[in-house]
Structure 1
């Protein structure tokens, strides 16, 4: 089911990310995980990361050859990735680093031929037995269809992923602007996605009120026909408290360059 040990000393399955420690430091943790993803395509230098705020940092992304299944990096990423660990350890010598593989633009068919997965199932029993933890995406879906813990994965092997971004929608009717209001498509950007930093700037520039919905545990605001849903500081606090209450292993953020002066981190 899993790749051979020659490919990587440790494997972590993270929803649609497969993460290998490779030459980076061991992924195993006995303490609360405070993790964050750094994406090389963000334009945010790894030297600017406040690594003191994290116990684990994920360097994203390496890719997988569709024929040999060997890992490879783009020429632009090779130097940055090779220096990543030394760079972030300058501010926090104890931080652990991991190499993240694939990402949202990865070729799913290549990865699926290695664990043999379909689009809605994972080998939870084997994950429970062999993995240190799983980073579970708890966003980018309308409604969850199943849960990891009820599926057999121990709570202390679950790391809750937090989104440091949100989505802007164009309302069908500006007066109908509650949670679940009809929308005609994205707003502000082609895909509607906005970093937390950009959302704060956008909201402040219009002097809009940020609302909170306790049922869905989300912040949102309306500016004309634009409706933006996201996680502000209060939501992050609630989610982290929830993770602790459920005795999860910690939390992970995608992606740290989206933060606004490390407010969420």
Structure 2
């Protein structure tokens, strides 16, 4: 089998991936955290792991590693390959920081700054032992930025191929994290440039609700009302726009969203998918903390099979999240649709690998080592 097949190109076997985001991990008070908590990842459950996030300098447009994570990022590949020598690591650049949006838009606006980004990203990936690069520009939000996004991808791919030919080393993987649907703010992604330039895209099929007081499934696969966002609708839009199934990797979260209700009455089994309850949005909560919340407060849990998602409620606290059954259903859906694979955000929020193990088993273990 060739490297391109092993590493997950459009002809590759499967992608079972997760992002690792050290800032998003649960770190209990008083516990001893390893110098790099990447050692806690069970990499045998994955083919690819994304190390998030490298940053982008606003002035030079060069990629750099935040100082607080220099050791963790520099040792990431070495650590996760101790348990699974076949796992492929990618350095993810970007994230949700507000200044990243401006930095990416500025960088992509002219060829010189794009060259600075591209050359520095390749240099860092090679120096730290990563097998690929991931762009998390969340999100280009007008026609100009989408057009520049396409140019960036094409020039990035060209530079990666040239570097590979010059050094004799297999080309770096190139991926991007994109909106759940092919349009963002009524502006279309450059799908043809994506198809030509990227090995695949990670569809962010979550964070649908939670940023406001509106209650809804944070990562619903379906929407029976056909009025709100859901993963299935987003995937259909991408495929209709021309994205091949084998360029799509479907995402689901190990992070839920919490709300505070206006009272502690029993609002019924449909509370998580209605808009009748006055609430306050509280923010994200990691899956391992949700498990503890359910146990400690004896929370009532409900699985919505029509939506494919969970919620739990105790007192005035309501949390929407994914658990084993919804994760397994989404993995089976992904495989049934003929997609390249799935990814989770983020592995540090899992509860002793419960969700990661369920996902890997749902797909099947024959390809778990990446095909080597």
1:169–1:183 CA contact under 8 A, matched in 2? no
1:162 equivalent in structure 2: 252
1:164–1:255 CA contact under 8 A, matched in 2? yes
2:21 equivalent in structure 1: 39
**Gapped regions of structure 1 (runs ≥ 5):** 1-24
2:208 equivalent in structure 1: 141
Residues 147-186 of structure 1 correspond to what in structure 2 (within 5 A)?
147-173=237-263, 174-177=265-268, 178=271, 179-181=273-275, 182-186=277-281
**Gapped regions of structure 2 (runs ≥ 5):** 1-5, 28-32, 110-139, 143-183, 210-227, 357-372
The CA distance in 2 between the partners of 1:215 and 1:61, in whole Å, is 34
The CA distance in 2 between the partners of 1:114 and 1:235, in whole Å, is 39
- In our comparison, the structure showing a higher alpha carbon Rg is 2
Q: Quick check: which one's strand share is greater?
A: 1
Matched, 1:193 2:284: yes
Q: CA deviation at 1:250?
A: 0.7
The CA distance in 2 between the partners of 1:101 and 1:163, in whole Å, is 19
Choose 204-213 or 243-252, whichever is displaced more: 204-213
Q: Quick check: which one's helix share is greater?
A: 2
In angstroms, what is the RMSD of aligned CA positions? 2.1
Q: CA deviation at 1:175?
A: 3.4
Deviating above 6 A after TM superposition, structure 1's stretches of 4 or more consecutive aligned residues are none
1:40–1:61 CA contact under 8 A, matched in 2? no
Matched, 1:254 2:348: no
The CA distance in 1 between the partners of 2:302 and 2:190, in whole Å, is 39
TM-score (norm 2): 0.60
2:8–2:15 CA contact under 8 A, matched in 1? no
Matched, 1:88 2:80: yes
2:105 equivalent in structure 1: 112
Of residues 212, 216, 232, the one that matches 2:303 is 212
The CA distance in 1 between the partners of 2:317 and 2:69, in whole Å, is 36
Please state whether the residue corresponding to 1:77 is helix, strand or coil. Answer: helix
The CA distance in 2 between the partners of 1:112 and 1:148, in whole Å, is 23
Matched residue count: 237
Please state whether the residue corresponding to 2:238 is helix, strand or coil. Answer: coil
Matched, 1:225 2:316: yes
Q: CA deviation at 1:68?
A: 2.1
The CA distance in 2 between the partners of 1:201 and 1:35, in whole Å, is 25
